[in-house]
């Protein structure tokens, strides 16, 4: 508890009451013979209900299945919350050999293809705010960490209609993504195809980007189903 108190800067008495409340409701539990707390199964239960309440996943899944058949790679549906990429749904290839992002995971926007695709269709002041809040941390040696270079990359994403992540978030992984946009032209989500740098060769990128653009165009008809459209102040 002392560690949690230091991290959150809460008085121990206040924190103890909070922990006891969470424990009594089944959201955390205390590990036997220690002062360690862990998340309980109820978090998974909440995650299940959360995903079940998001109909965009059901609209997107048939399109994602088509994308996977075309590519044979992993396919992701994302949105953004509080300036970070939120993975809503994922379909994995049969040859999955590495640990990839899964539903509910959040990642920085500047180092992922989905994140850059979404940033490229957000107002400049909003992009500036996201960068100021989260910075441009170097996730791999290939991550863009300079603001000027990032804005140049976002310009390129808009010009060609898709974003790339070439080992910027995970070494050995290459991704292509297309933004899903609302009627005002702003990003509300993104779809991506992800695979190894070997299987995702440059000749395939335009083909995959075109298929992603078709699917993104269909999903753009349902903007109200995306969290990015539903939550104020994200």
Render pLDDT for 79-113 as a digit per residue (tens, 0 to 9): 999 999 999 999 988 755 555 447 789 999 999 99
Residue 225 DSSP one-character state: G
Residue 203: pLDDT above 50? yes
Cα–Cα distance for residue pair 22/170, rounded to 1 Å: 35
Q: How high is the pLDDT of residue 229? A: 54
* Residue 23 CB neighbours (<10 A): 14
The whole-number average pLDDT for the span 199-205 is 96
Strand ranges of the sheet holding 74-81, from the earlier edge strand across to the other edge: 106-108, 84-91, 74-81, 187-196, 173-181, 163-166
Cα–Cα distance for residue pair 232/93, rounded to 1 Å: 35
> Which tokens belong to 181?
């946009």
Q: How high is the pLDDT of residue 234? A: 43
Cα–Cα distance for residue pair 222/226, rounded to 1 Å: 8
Cα–Cα distance for residue pair 32/30, rounded to 1 Å: 6
Residue with tokens 């509300």: 188
Render pLDDT for 41-75 as a digit per residue (tens, 0 to 9): 888 777 777 776 677 878 899 999 999 999 999 99
* Burial state string for 137-162 with b = 16 or more CB within 10 A and e = fewer than 16: eebeeebbeeeeebbebbeebeeebb
Q: Are 227 and 86 in contact (CB under 8 A)?
A: yes
Q: Are 172 and 213 in contact (CB under 8 A)?
A: no
Residue 231: pLDDT above 60? no
Residue 153: pLDDT above 60? yes
Residue 31 DSSP one-character state: P
The whole-number average pLDDT for the span 117-142 is 97
Q: How high is the pLDDT of residue 95? A: 58
Residue 2: pLDDT above 80? no
Residue 119: pLDDT above 80? yes
Render pLDDT for 155-166 as a digit per residue (tens, 0 to 9): 999 999 999 999
Each domain of the chain, given as residue ranges in start order, spans: 2-48, 54-230
Residue with tokens 């299987």: 199
Looking at domain 54-230, does it have CATH number 3.30.450.40?
yes
The helix, strand and coil proportions of the chain, stated in percent and rounded to the nearest 5, come to 45, 20, 35
């Amino acid at each position: 508890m002392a560690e949690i108190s230091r991290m959150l800067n809460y008085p121990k008495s206040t924190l103890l009451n909070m922990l006891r409340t969470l424990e009594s409701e089944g959201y955390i539990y205390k590990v036997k013979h220690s002062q360690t707390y862990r998340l309980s199964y109820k978090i998974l239960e909440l995650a299940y209900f959360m995903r079940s309440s998001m109909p965009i996943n059901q609209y997107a899944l048939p399109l994602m299945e088509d994308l996977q058949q075309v590519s044979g790679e992993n396919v992701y549906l994302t949105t953004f919350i509080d300036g970070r990429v939120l993975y809503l749904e994922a379909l994995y290839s049969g040859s999955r050999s590495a640990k990839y992002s899964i539903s509910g995971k959040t990642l920085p926007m500047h180092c992922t293809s989905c994140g850059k695709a979404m940033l490229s269709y957000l107002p400049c002041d909003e992009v500036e705010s996201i960068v100021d809040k989260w910075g441009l941390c170097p996730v791999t040696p290939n991550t863009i960490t300079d603001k000027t270079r990032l804005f140049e990359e976002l310009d390129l994403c808009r010009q060609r209609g898709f974003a790339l992540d070439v080992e910027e978030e995970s070494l050995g992984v290459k991704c292509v993504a297309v933004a899903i946009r609302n009627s005002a032209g702003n990003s509300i989500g993104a779809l991506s195809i992800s695979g190894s740098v070997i299987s995702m060769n440059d000749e395939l990128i335009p083909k995959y980007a075109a298929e992603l653009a078709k699917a993104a165009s269909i999903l753009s008809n349902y903007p109200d189903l995306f969290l990015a459209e539903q939550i104020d102040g994200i």
